[in-house]
Amino acid sequence: MELIGNPEAFPILRHWDFFNHAGVSPLPRCAAQAIRAYATQSESAAYLDSGWHRELARLRQTAASFINARRDEIAFIKNTSEGIATVARGIDWRPGDRIVTTDVEYPANVYPWMDAARRSGAELVMVAEETCGDGCRRVPLDKMLAEATHPRTRLVTLSHVEFASGQRHDLAEVGKFCREHGKLFSVDAIQSMGALPVDVQAMSIDYLSAGGHKWMLGPEGTGIFYCRRELLERTRPLIVGWMNVINAEDYGHYDLTLKSDAGRFECGGHNIAGFLGLKATLDILSAVGLDALSQRIRQLTDRLIAQLRSKGYQVVSPREEGEWSGIVSFVSDRHDHKAIVERLRKEHKIEMVVREGRLRCSPHFYNTEQQMDRLGSALPGH
């Protein structure tokens, strides 16, 4: 509770009602302080007595605990695209292999698979989003699994939460199916990690990628990649450099044997400043607890949805138990969406965005009920 609405911890609160955590989050003070401390240390004493790598080791363990993984299954990456591309390039595809996804994925979870299909003769199958009777937009689970059933399907790849609709997929059901039928399962978790519980064991996830700059509240240029231990040696690194190998610090002894853990996917020096910032934010989120975070986000988004419906907006995001997320997408049949966003910014210091022709609001746990009410009041009625 002491963090909610606290401008000392979240300085953005002094300036904006910020509701685009599904885009790029503002840095909490702890992250900015960690980055400043790095800059001061580097400026005055370089790396001497810095302890940076001990902090990164702690971050690796914290990130693993966030998704119920083992420490040796976690690699540091620059962004979600790098993690997904590692899988897309790291598998020996055969002509006729099928890769199943949706037709509403964020491009980071499309282009690497398009590239893999073009290079290998594999087929990329994209299951369509549909409008349901309640006006919400969903990719039906049964149609996803029907495509995955095909004997040539080799991998299913999904965003845990879809960026434009906010639909949360039932990863446990998809993962169970994939594991039982010998399919690989890759997940883009950038729209859930830090806001919703993610459990790679319970969800039978083989690969997971998540940039740190959205719900994890970290700096851009940081991210987490998970590879299930049993698949480490079967997945080629995207790039091979000096750090992937077992004798990385034995500079005069050249041995191309790759590390046996997820360090095999880290080719060179890390973005130390960025990952120190990410460690600071994950420490805060860990202290709050993922269950408490998600419950808080549910409360805020439910409050907003009640106001949206009272003002005549159509809510696009599914809100049933197990489907809801921190993203609330909605549409107006009377008002221009881009004009609404511009007016909110200029006249009310409220930040939200338009995605795929929909207004999209994505508050985090530290936002307040008063902020949600200000947004509801500022939106034009119908």
Encode pLDDT of 306-344 as tens digits.
Answer: 999 999 999 999 999 999 999 999 999 999 999 999 999
Confidence category of residue 133, pLDDT binned at 50, 70, 90:
confident
Write the single-letter amino acid at 303: R
Looking at the structure, do residues 306 and 246 belong to the same domain, yes or no? no
Query: In the predicted model, is pLDDT for residue 190 greater than 90?
Result: yes
**Which is nearest to 326 in space by CA: 104, 216, 168, 136?**
168
* pLDDT the model gives residue 328: 98
Domain of 347, CATH number, reads 3.90.1150.10
Boundary-marking domain end, from 286, 309, 325: 286
Looking at the structure, do residues 45 and 153 belong to the same domain, yes or no? yes
- Assess if residue 3 is contained within a domain: no
Contact 27, 277 (CB under 8 A): yes
Percent of the chain, pLDDT > 70? 100
Degrees, nearest 5: CA angle 239-244-246 = 155
Looking at the structure, do residues 206 and 109 belong to the same domain, yes or no? yes
* pLDDT the model gives residue 219: 98
d(CA 380, CA 259): 57
d(CA 329, CA 314): 9
Domain of 88, CATH number, reads 3.40.640.10
- Assess if residue 299 is contained within a domain: yes
Is the pTM higher than 0.95? The answer reads yes
- Assess if residue 303 is contained within a domain: yes
What is the count of structural domains for the chain? 2
Looking at the structure, do residues 64 and 17 belong to the same domain, yes or no? no
- pLDDT, one tens digit per residue, over 215-248 is 999 999 999 999 999 999 999 999 999 999 999 9
Looking at the structure, do residues 103 and 62 belong to the same domain, yes or no? yes
- Assess if residue 226 is contained within a domain: yes
Q: How large is the average pLDDT for residues 267-274?
A: 97
* pLDDT the model gives residue 49: 87
Looking at the structure, do residues 237 and 371 belong to the same domain, yes or no? no
Looking at the structure, do residues 194 and 157 belong to the same domain, yes or no? yes
d(CA 42, CA 236): 34
Q: How large is the average pLDDT for residues 53-63?
A: 96
- pLDDT, one tens digit per residue, over 90-120 is 999 999 999 999 999 999 999 999 999 999 9
Boundary-marking domain end, from 271, 286, 301: 286
Boundary-marking domain end, from 259, 286, 313: 286
Q: How large is the average pLDDT for residues 150-157?
A: 98
Contact 198, 67 (CB under 8 A): yes
* pLDDT the model gives residue 11: 98
Looking at the structure, do residues 207 and 331 belong to the same domain, yes or no? no
Dihedral in degrees, nearest 10, Cα atoms 233, 237, 178, 190: 140
Q: How large is the average pLDDT for residues 279-293?
A: 96
- Assess if residue 374 is contained within a domain: yes
- Assess if residue 18 is contained within a domain: yes
Separation of CA 352 from chain center: 18
Looking at the structure, do residues 280 and 293 belong to the same domain, yes or no? no
Query: In the predicted model, is pLDDT for residue 23 greater than 90?
Result: yes
- Assess if residue 1 is contained within a domain: no
- Assess if residue 114 is contained within a domain: yes
Q: How large is the average pLDDT for residues 147-162?
A: 98
Query: In the predicted model, is pLDDT for residue 129 greater than 90?
Result: yes
Looking at the structure, do residues 84 and 181 belong to the same domain, yes or no? yes
Take residue 259 and report the two structure tokens written for it. Answer: 């590390």
Write the single-letter amino acid at 117: A
* pLDDT the model gives residue 1: 80
Domain of residue 307 covers: 11-27+289-378
- pLDDT, one tens digit per residue, over 73-83 is 999 999 999 99
* pLDDT the model gives residue 139: 97
Looking at the structure, do residues 196 and 305 belong to the same domain, yes or no? no
Looking at the structure, do residues 189 and 295 belong to the same domain, yes or no? no
